[in-house]
Amino acid sequence: KAGKTVYFNNPIWPGEVQCLRVESILYQAKSDYQEVLVFESSSYGKVLVLDGIIQLTEKDECAYQEMITHLPLCSIPSPKTVLVVGGGDGGVLREIARHNSVQHIDICEIDRMVIEVSKKFFPELAAGFDDARVCLHVGDAVEFLTHVPEGKYDAIIVDSSDPVGPAQQLVEKPFFETIARALRPGGVLCNMAESMWLHTHIIDDMISICREIFKGSVHYAWTSVPTYPSGVIGFVICSTEGPLVDFLNPINPIENLDGADQHKRELRYYNSEMHKAAFALPSFLKREVSSS
C-alpha cells in the first residue's frame, strides 16, 4: 500500500530483509513464468520486482547494466555480433547500442510480460529495443542456444535472474557448454554472478565449471548495486580459446568510442577506471576464486 514499506524476504538472502518505502503500486500480475510487480519507491524511483526479487530500480540500474555490457564489449576489438540472454527490460540493449561496431544483437528473453511492462514503465531502458540492430526472440535461452550456429557471436551477455524459477538451468554446465559453442574463438561471456557476501558457493561452482569449459581466461568482477541483496553483484567473465583477451586492460576503451557518451544519455557509472577496479577482489574471494 502507498506509504507502507515493502519487505523482501528470500531464502537466497537468509536471515536478513531488504525494504523500500512504497509511494504507489503501478502494476501487479502473474505471467506464465513469474510474479511481476512494479512500484514507485520514495528513494530509488520505479522498481521492477520478479518473484519477490528486485531486478532493477531507476536510480541504480546504471551500475549493473553499464558494467555487465561494457566489461565484455570493451575487452575485445570491434565487437560485431552480440547475444543477450534474459535482459527483457532492454537496459543492456541500450548499453550495447553505444558500440558503433556492433552490427547484430540477438536477445532471448523468456517472459513477454517483462518486455511489455518495461515498455510501459521503464521507457529509458526499453528504448534499447528500438535499435534496428536488435532481433528479439521470446523463449527459453537454454533451448535457443542449442540452435545457434557454432561461433556466431563475439560476445554473450547473460543478464538473467537468480537461479530459482526459470533461470535455474542458466548456472549449469550444459548451458555454459552451449554458450562456449556459440562464441567465436576468443569470444567473451559476461554472466551475472550473484553476491560475494551471500553466494560464494554459487560463485565457486560457476567459476569451476567455466574453468573447465572456457580455455581462454576466467575472471570474477563486481560492482556496487545498492538494491541488490548485500549491495553488490558480480560477474563471471570468460573468453574461449583463441586470440587472447586481456580483460584487465581493455583494448577497446569506452572513452575512444565515437559518440559512446553522447548516445541518448551519458554513461553514469562505467569508465575505464571502474573497469579495471572491478577485477580487484577482497582477499577471501581471491582465495575462493583461485581454489575453484
Residue 161 found at the interface with ligand AAT (CB under 6 A): yes
Nearer to ligand AAT, 216 or 229 (CB): 229
26: exposed, middle or buried (Cβ count in 10 Å: 0-12, 13-18, 19+): middle
Stretch that binds ligand AAT, among 52-60, 201-209, 265-273, 278-286 (CB under 6 A): 52-60
What is the per-residue binding string for ligand AAT in 95-114, x denoting contact by CB under 6 A?
Answer: -------------xxxx--x
Amino acid in the structure at residue 193: A
Residue 219: CB minimum distance to ligand AAT, A: 19
Residue 156 found at the interface with ligand AAT (CB under 6 A): no
Residue 160 found at the interface with ligand AAT (CB under 6 A): yes
Residue 38: CB minimum distance to ligand AAT, A: 13
**Count of CB atoms situated within 10 Å of the CB of 278:** 22
Residue from 89, 95, 154, 288 binding ligand AAT (CB under 6 A): 89
Residue 90: CB minimum distance to ligand AAT, A: 8
Residue 125: CB minimum distance to ligand AAT, A: 8
CA distance 280 to 109: 31
State which of positions 166-195 bind ligand AAT (CB under 6 A).
Answer: 166-167, 170, 192
What is the per-residue binding string for ligand AAT in 194-213, x denoting contact by CB under 6 A?
Answer: --------------------
Q: DSSP secondary-structure letter at 228?
A: S
One-character DSSP codes across 5-19: EEEE--TTSTT--EE
What residues pair up with 49 in beta bridges, in sequence order? 37, 54
How large is the C-alpha radius of gyration of the chain? 18
Nearer to ligand AAT, 88 or 250 (CB): 88
Residue 60 found at the interface with ligand AAT (CB under 6 A): no
Nearer to ligand AAT, 85 or 148 (CB): 85
Nearer to ligand AAT, 202 or 245 (CB): 202
Residue from 6, 37, 49, 56 binding ligand AAT (CB under 6 A): 56
CA distance 247 to 276: 8
Contact, 100 vs 259, CB < 8 A?
yes
The C-alpha cell of 263 is what?
Answer: 548516445
Show contacts of 132-136: CB within 8 Å, 24+ apart: 133/97, 133/102, 133/103, 133/104, 133/105, 134/93, 134/105, 134/107, 135/104, 135/105, 135/106, 135/107, 136/107, 136/109
Residue 159 found at the interface with ligand AAT (CB under 6 A): yes
Nearer to ligand AAT, 216 or 234 (CB): 234
CA distance 206 to 95: 25
Place of cell 581466461: 217
Residue 55 found at the interface with ligand AAT (CB under 6 A): yes
Cα dihedral across residues 77, 217, 90, 54: positive or negative: negative
Which one of the listed residues 89, 140, 159, 162 is annotated catalytic? Answer: 159
For binding to ligand AAT (CB under 6 A), which residues are involved? 50, 53, 55-56, 85-89, 91, 108-111, 114, 140-142, 159-162, 166-167, 170, 192, 228, 233
Residues with catalytic roles: 159
